[in-house]
Amino acid sequence: MNRLAPKRGFISALGLSQLVSWGTLYYSFPLIAEAMAAELGWSRADIYGAATLGLVASALATYPIGAMIDRGHGRKLMVGATVAASFVLIGWSNIDSILSLYALIITLGVLQAALSYEPAFAVTVRQLGTQQARSAITAITLWAGFASTVFVPLLQFMLDNWGWRDALLGLAMINITIAAPLYRWAIWPANADNHPLQQTPNPEESPIRAVLRSPRFYLLSASFCAYMALFSGFTYHIYPLLIALSSDTQSVVFAIALIGPAQVGARTLLLLFEEISIKRLGLLAGIAFPLAILMLKLPPSAFTLAGLCILYGAANGIFTIVRGMAVPELLSRHNYGTINGIMLVPMSLARAAAPWSIAAYWTHSGTPNSAIQLLLILAILVPLLFIAAIYVKRTR
């Protein structure tokens, strides 16, 4: 058996690999999409339709991935998906038709389901146990929070100097040479001894059925669906949206790059105030989302763009921790991967629908204000549904 990664090394390695996964596979899409549209003449709705189908495919893969991680196969999943994703990026760099784009992005969506926060959180809970999970998840997301800060300027440089095809090759090389080895080193193999958290293998003996009868489960899922739609819509459209509102490309790129430090700053504060409950953190972050989106209605300037991204980044940084710890702290301390996988199906479908819906509505209306309206509705739903969830009596 390979030597098991110590806790501190595990957190750093998983955090850095998550930074690379998010930067190469998620934050890169809006910039690549804009460059493709300009060169190939494809419409925004057509390109984001591929992203939507990719996220639908990701949604269908979330439950089996969560169950496999509960059975100890996290290493095989995350290493294999990273290597496969690198080859998809290489194939993407050679496309010449919209159908090939759809095929590659759908495949990439399935692989993203094994490389997002949720499988990383499930691996963390399994490997370190529930007691240490909150601080570990917070630290891992501190690393991953720099994904946009590192990769948006890096990818913009690659696009300006290499073009989008060679930029995709660069992303593939970064992904396979950095993320894949780190995932393999950090995550315990399935036959590792002394797992601090043993999952109940028999569904009849698990609390899953009780959780599925709880109103809190469905209200939390609804709140997280609104959040995932907001996160997806914001991530995919913030670059073209800010470009439409402001002609200052440098200010736009700088503002988006501030999302990462804002996320990291908020998560760092959480390490200092660990006594704050998940319920209060959820309320704090949830209320900040609509305030951030409302800043899009202010006259565009370097100051307002930066303020918007900082406020959104801080709220997103906190709510990511809330989402990661909601299952063990608000629902059940057992079968994390399976329960989270069940919740992720509608959440991922909401995440999938948002980019295409916003793009289609924006194209139909011809004004970015329509996209802002949809984002604002989603931002308001997040705290309202979360408040309802925490005040519903928990089913035992």
Q: Where are the domains of the chain?
A: 7-188+207-390
d(CA 313, CA 111): 25
**For position 91, what pLDDT does the model report?**
95
**For position 27, what pLDDT does the model report?**
83
- Other CB atoms within a 10 A radius of the CB of residue 30 amount to 23
**For position 199, what pLDDT does the model report?**
46
End-to-end CA distance of the chain: 40
* Contact residues for 146 (Cβ-Cβ < 8 A; gap 6+): 19, 260, 261, 264
CATH 1.10.10.60 for domain 7-188+207-390: no
Cβ-in-10-Å burial (0-12, 13-18, 19+) of 53 comes to middle
User: pTM value?
Assistant: 0.70
The token pair that represents 194 in the structure block: 């002394």
**For position 381, what pLDDT does the model report?**
96
Query: Digits of tens for pLDDT over the chain (396 positions)?
Result: 445 556 778 888 999 999 999 999 988 888 898 899 888 888 877 888 888 888 788 888 888 888 888 788 889 999 999 999 999 999 999 998 999 999 999 999 999 989 988 888 888 888 887 667 777 888 888 787 778 778 888 998 999 999 999 999 999 999 999 999 999 998 887 666 445 444 444 444 456 777 778 888 999 999 999 999 999 888 888 888 888 887 778 888 888 888 878 887 888 887 777 677 888 888 999 999 999 999 988 887 888 899 999 999 999 988 988 888 888 888 877 777 778 778 888 887 888 788 878 888 888 888 888 888 999 999 999 999 999 998 886 544
Q: Kindly list the distances between the CA atom of residue 98 and the CA atoms of 28, 46, 106, 112, in Å, as whole numbers in the listed order.
A: 18, 8, 12, 21
Polymer length in residues for the chain: 396
Which residue reads 């914001």 in tokens? Answer: 234
d(CA 331, CA 211): 6
**For position 84, what pLDDT does the model report?**
96
Amino acid (one-letter) located at 151 = F
Q: Could you tell me if 337 and 126 are in contact, meaning their C-beta atoms sit under 8 angstroms apart? A: yes
From the centroid of its chain, how far is CA 311? 17
The token pair that represents 172 in the structure block: 């593939």
Task: Count CA atoms within 13 Å of residue 274 on its CB side.
Answer: 11
